[in-house]
């Protein structure tokens, strides 16, 4: 039986609702410029709001080589493995820890944990992983992932939360504006598998270096984020003129997958690149015994006059 919803709330009457099924974000209620609280997430079904793994995004033909050994994974998107396979982490009930409040009372947090046995969906090594959600009085939702293994493996975790900053899941996101700190992206074939190339976004519909409307173009693109060092930095911002809600994304990750779904929601998934285990020029996703995987993403919500938006300059 799945435990009841976990709620993190702040002093401004805003809250984040979470579920142990998929360690999921099921709702984020934050203020608009009038002080009205609305849910800025959209349930698109499938992996929406959930933690996906062991490997977020795709691995070509469900196959990769590591230390001279080839591993065949369970496939669930034609011949490819998507989001960890047919029984990935998004379909698991995670163990729920106690909800905690910081000493100064400004932040609430909860930890979800999961053990994945060697051979799970074909991945090597026993993996112990956790995700800690924290929500503070400034309406910043911090997601901190951690993991260790007992054999060399590959790992790429993210959350597949969808946003509509209007606070209503029905309006189009075409007029909501977006800025992404990226000059390049990884082109893909018809099966959405990267070629291995890293190419400029200039002159393409993917150019969000200056904040502009998302538009009606359907996106499913991995952006190569600027200034990747493993430190937390600002990588994207989105804005809804009507509600005044602004979303700032900070991450330690090298990539950001923009996905616009059915046109009423967008995902900004912080991650390593798709199919990285099969491309030596992509940042490595290998995790070895004695190492600890650590990744942090912050979704920071605020209301801001449009005159204060980023232009990319």
User: Hey, which residues does 163 pair with through a beta bridge?
Assistant: 41, 266
Name 10's bridge partners. none
DSSP annotation of 282: S
Question: Sign of torsion, CA 80 144 133 246?
Answer: negative
Our answer to whether residue 160 is catalytic in this structure is: yes
C-alpha torsion 89→92→93→99, nearest 10: 10
Q: Which tokens hold the place of 32? A: 């608009």
Radius of gyration of the chain from its Cα atoms, rounded to whole angstroms: 19
The active-site residue out of 83, 253, 269, 279 is: 269
What is the C-alpha to C-alpha distance for residues 202 and 213, in angstroms, rounded to an integer?
A: 16
Find out whether 258 and 219 touch, Cβ atoms under 8 Å: yes
Sign, Cα dihedral of 161, 55, 150, 118: positive
Cβ atoms of 291 and 148 closer than 8 Å: yes
- Residue found by looking up tokens 């074939």 in the block: 189
Q: Are strands 158-159 and 51-52 parallel, antiparallel or unpaired?
A: antiparallel
Could you say which of 160, 237, 253, 279 is catalytic? 160
Known catalytic residues are 160, 269
């Amino acid at each position: 039986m799945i435990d009841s919803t976990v709620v993190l709330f702040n002093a401004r009457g805003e809250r984040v609702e979470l579920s142990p099924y998929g360690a999921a974000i099921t709702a984020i209620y934050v203020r608009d410029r009038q002080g009205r609280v609305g849910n800025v997430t959209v349930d698109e079904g499938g992996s929406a709001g959930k933690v996906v793994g062991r490997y977020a995004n795709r691995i070509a033909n469900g196959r990769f080589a590591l230390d001279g050994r080839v591993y065949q994974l369970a496939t669930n998107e034609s011949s490819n493995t998507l989001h960890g396979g047919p029984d990935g982490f998004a379909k698991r009930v995670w163990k729920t820890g106690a909800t905690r409040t910081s000493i100064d009372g400004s932040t609430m947090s909860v930890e979800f944990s999961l053990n994945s046995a060697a051979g799970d969906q074909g991945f090597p090594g026993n993996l112990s992983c956790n995700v800690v959600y924290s929500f503070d009085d400034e309406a910043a939702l911090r997601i901190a992932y951690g993991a260790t293994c007992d054999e060399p493996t590959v790992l790429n975790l993210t959350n597949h939360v969808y946003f509509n900053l209007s606070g209503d899941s029905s309006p189009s996101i075409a007029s909501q504006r977006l800025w992404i700190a990226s000059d390049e992206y990884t082109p893909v074939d018809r099966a959405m598998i990267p070629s291995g190339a890293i190419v400029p976004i200039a002159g393409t519909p993917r150019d969000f270096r200056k904040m502009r409307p998302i538009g009606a173009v359907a996106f499913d693109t991995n952006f190569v984020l600027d200034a990747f060092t493993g430190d937390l930095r600002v990588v994207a911002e989105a804005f809804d003129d009507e509600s005044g809600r602004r979303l700032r994304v900070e991450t330690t990750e090298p990539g950001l997958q923009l996905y616009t779904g059915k046109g009423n929601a967008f995902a900004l998934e912080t991650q390593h690149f798709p199919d990285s285990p099969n491309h030596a020029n992509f940042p490595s996703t290998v995790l070895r015994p004695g190492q600890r995987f650590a990744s942090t993403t912050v979704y920071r919500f605020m209301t801001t006059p449009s005159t204060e938006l980023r232009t990319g300059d």
